Chains A and B, each alone.
Chain A
Amino acid sequence: MSSAPANLPVLDLPAARAGANRTVALVGPPNSGKSTLFNRLTGLRQKVANYPGVTVEKRLGRAKLSGQDVLLVDLPGVYSLYPRTEDEQVTHDVLRGEMDDVPKPDAVILIVDVTNLGRQLTLAAPILSLGLPTLVLLNMADDLRRGGGKVDVNALAEQVGTPVALVSARTGEGLPAVEEFLEGAFGLPKPVQLPIISNVPECRQWSAELGERAGYRAPLPSSWTRRLDALFLHPVAGPLIFAVVVIAVFQTIFLAAVPLMDGVEAMISMSGGWIQSILPESWFRSLLIEGIWGGVGSVIVFLPQILLLFIFIGVLEDSGYMARAALIADRTMAKVGLQGKSFIPLISAYACAIPAIMSTRTIENKRDRMATILIAPFMTCSARLPVYTLVIAAFIPQQEILGKFLGVRAATMIGLYALGFAAAIFTAAVLKSSVLKSARTPFMLEMPPYRMPTLRSIGLRLFDRAKIFLRRAGTVIMATTVILWLLASVPLQNGEPPEISESVAGTIGRTIEPFIEPLGFNWRIGIGLITSLAAREVVVGTLGTIYGMEADEGSLELQSALQSDLTLPGAIALLIYFAFAMQCMSTVAVVRRETGGWKWAIIQFVYMTGMGYVCAFAAYQILS
């Protein structure tokens, strides 16, 4: 898991290269549709969204063609070949053949947004100066037409000395031209007069002339972006709308998700009962029912909530609102020494800290980037959601605050999200005023036009997310559950499994009990704290297994069992511990890689887990 940060089905080099002897790089300005095209051509599902800087790492894939195979390299967007950030550096190095694990490209596909051809085509000058066979793709042909714009593709091809095609990566329009290029013999570009690429005004002038000679007429901009900005960037209405949407999402998680959850739970216990009825009583049945069904099953119950959260994140990312959120947050971020661009990784961290840490590569300032990496895991990732939902449902009464619109449970959940964010901001302030102090880097961020998120794109995200979630359930969670079941079943006493408290697992739990008792936790919770170091939601599976093994009839009443183990102050301490502690080995591994060593990864682990312990201790002592 740690080596595939975003859990994307993208090939590694040997697999991608098998049979492919030609390498083609996809380059273009940020948010011009490179990854959408890459997905179209390879059938892979590299993440796409509507803001600049979604792709921060090279991605390899094999283009599905009828003829010979081609290795495609999707690259982070660039404005020029003068890199300012880590992600831009990747593109620069791949194009120059200076990247160890990617062959030097044999050809380049330059993809630009045709709705703003003049500025986007400025990048053609440095790309053509590489002297590689090049195909220029004018993307978003559908938007060009809709706005009444036009361009003479042949005239443009004549000007730049390479083939040019008008395409829409989103709809698939014009893609045969791309396949034809990839399958054909790569011809070198015809020599044309290029501007001096270090001279930006000259390059812009050149690209303006190209557009003029190709009869380019820009489309009328859609009025939607201005209208929506008038709303979302309104000083009062903007934040208000955002708050209403956030509250609605959390309320939905608790109200609408409950029947879904009950449905999944019923299915699990029914199938568990069925297995119990057809298998004779044996250690294997116990492993299956109490271990796997009780453990993995109690985590899978939370799939509907996680998918609901991802619909929301998907709409945020695909609509173009993300860049506006960064804009609105910039002042707050500036107060703690960061800038608005750091806000985008923080929002992605609501899904998972790992891709969020990767996406800090778009931050110019090294120290800002480091600080953002160190605070990102405080944001409430989706692995915390099952833990929060379970504990809140067990201990917080379902009362209304603002009628149907906001209940106490949803408010508690929002409070936990706010707590994580506050811890992140506090830590950033500490870091940026001490060890990571730096001069301010100017905030420059391109605002993409708003786009309507498509059902297909949201559907694909949910499908991929469900796959990742189920894969985790089938690997990390299943493995820890089976190991836990084993440790809870030995040593045998008179040939029978022991009481859990007397088992190896119980002994471990009771050994750490003195350390966690001041937090209101007993040895059962203690076992969960240890297993959840692998991944946070494992604690739910662990408790499911332990209670399943203890119950006479393998009942899965996790909530009521939990109520007998924790008091309300203890439950609050547990929530606080999970809000702060670093319990995710994959994140530790990625932090180590992105910061270039163990130092920061260890500091972060100790700091977060220490903060979790101290704050949970304080909460329990004050409340009880």
Chain B
Amino acid sequence: MTSNGAATLADLREGEEAYLDRIELSEPEARRLMELGFLPGTSITAARSAPFGDPRVFRVDGSEVALRRETAAKLFVSASRQNGDA
């Protein structure tokens, strides 16, 4: 994972874990992602992917959700939990 502070889910390699900071998508899309478990502060682990790494399955909040790289690139993460209250 890059350490320039602007890492996204798309940067995670299989087996890597990170914490979600923010989602830069339209409100309805961000809402659905949150309903699927992608809430700020949540731990997310990159799992298996389709051939060529896209889309990829992410383990989040007890379930597995597949996202395309283009969507994953809108979910900003950091290596440690920042948003303590979520």
Which A residues have a C-beta under 8 Å from some C-beta of B? Answer: 79-80, 82, 84, 115-116, 118-119, 122, 200-201, 204-205, 218, 225-226, 229-230, 233, 235, 238-239, 323, 326-328, 330-331, 334, 339-340, 440, 442-447
In the complex the two chains form, is B67's CB within 8 Å of A444's CB? Answer: yes
Q: Which of B26-70 contact A (CB under 8 A)?
A: 28-29, 31-37, 39-40, 47-52, 54-55, 57, 61-68, 70
The chain B residue sitting closest to A232, CB to CB, is B48
Residue among B31, B55, B71 having the largest count of chain A Cβ atoms under 10 Å: B55
Assembly CA distance A334 to B54 (angstroms) = 11
Chain B interfacial positions (CB closer than 8 Å to A) = 25, 28-29, 31-37, 39-40, 47-52, 54-55, 57, 61-68, 70-71, 86
Q: A84-B28, A330-B50 are in contact. Are A446 and B65 (CB under 8 A)?
A: yes
Closest 10 CB pairs of A and B: A116-B62, A79-B35, A200-B34, A447-B64, A233-B48, A442-B71, A235-B51, A445-B66, A443-B68, A328-B50
The closest CB in chain A to the CB of B37 belongs to A119
Contact of B51 (CB < 8 Å), options: A229, A239, A445: A239
CA–CA, A218 to B65, complex, Å? 19
B84 CB, min distance to chain A CBs, angstroms: 13
Please name all residues of chain B whose beta carbon is closer than 8 Å to the beta carbon of A235 when the two chains form the complex.
Answer: 51-52
Find chain B residues with CB under 8 A from A326 CB: 66
Determine whether the beta carbon of B54 is less than 8 Å from that of A116: no
Beyond A119-B63, A235-B52, A445-B66, list 14 extra A-B contacts (CB 8 Å).
A80-B31, A84-B28, A84-B32, A119-B37, A119-B61, A200-B39, A205-B86, A218-B62, A226-B47, A229-B47, A239-B51, A327-B57, A339-B68, A444-B33
Q: Within the assembled complex, what's the spacing in Å between the Cα atoms of A336 and B55?
A: 16
Q: Could you tell me the distance in whole angstroms from the C-beta of A367 to the nearest C-beta in chain B? A: 17
Contacts of A225 in B (CB 8 A): 64
Smallest CB separation, B24 vs chain A (Å): 12
Collect the chain A residues with CB atoms within 8 Å of residue B66's CB.
323, 326-327, 330, 340, 443-447
Tell me the minimal C-beta distance from B45 to chain A in angstroms. Answer: 11
Residue from the list A79, A218, A239 in contact with B36, Cβ < 8 A: A79
B70 and A440 contact, CB distance less than 8 A: yes
Q: Are B28 and A238 in contact (CB under 8 A)?
A: no
Q: Judging by beta carbons under 8 Å apart, are A446 and B51 in contact?
A: no
| A115 to chain B: closest residue by CB | B62
- The answer to whether A443 and B39 have CB atoms under 8 Å apart is no
- State in angstroms the CA–CA spacing of A445 and B32 once bound together: 11
Alpha-carbon distance A340/B54, docked complex (angstroms): 11
Chain A residues positioned under 8 Å from B64 (CB to CB): 225, 446-447
**A445: B residues at CB distance < 8 A:** 65-66
Nearest-Cβ distance from residue A266 to partner chain B, whole angstroms: 47
Q: How far is the CA of A150 from the CA of B67 in the complex (A)?
A: 31
Instruction: Name 6 interchain pairs, CB-CB below 8 A, sorted by A.
Output: A122-B35, A330-B54, A331-B50, A444-B33, A444-B67, A445-B66
User: What's the nearest-Cβ distance from chain B to residue A407, in Å?
Assistant: 29
A229-B48 in contact (CB<8A): yes
Provided the pairs A201-B86, A327-B50, A328-B50 are in contact, do residues A444 and B36 lie with their beta carbons within 8 angstroms?
yes
Q: What is the minimal beta-carbon distance from B43 to any residue of chain A, in angstroms? A: 13
Closest to A235 in B: B51
Verify B71–A443 contact, CB threshold 8 A: yes
Q: CA separation between A326 and B50, bound complex, in Å?
A: 10
Smallest beta-carbon distance A130→chain B, Å: 18
B62 near A447: Cβ-Cβ < 8 Å: no
Let me know if A442 and B62 touch, CB within 8 A: no
A49 to chain B, nearest CB (A): 18
* A67→B55 CA distance, assembly (Å): 51
Output the nearest chain B residue to A218 by Cβ-Cβ distance. B62
Given that A79-B35, A200-B31, A330-B55 are contacting pairs, would A446 and B63 also be in contact in the complex, using a CB cutoff of 8 Å?
A: yes
The answer to whether B55 and A79 touch across the interface, beta carbons within 8 angstroms, is: no
Bound: A79/B64 CA distance, A: 15
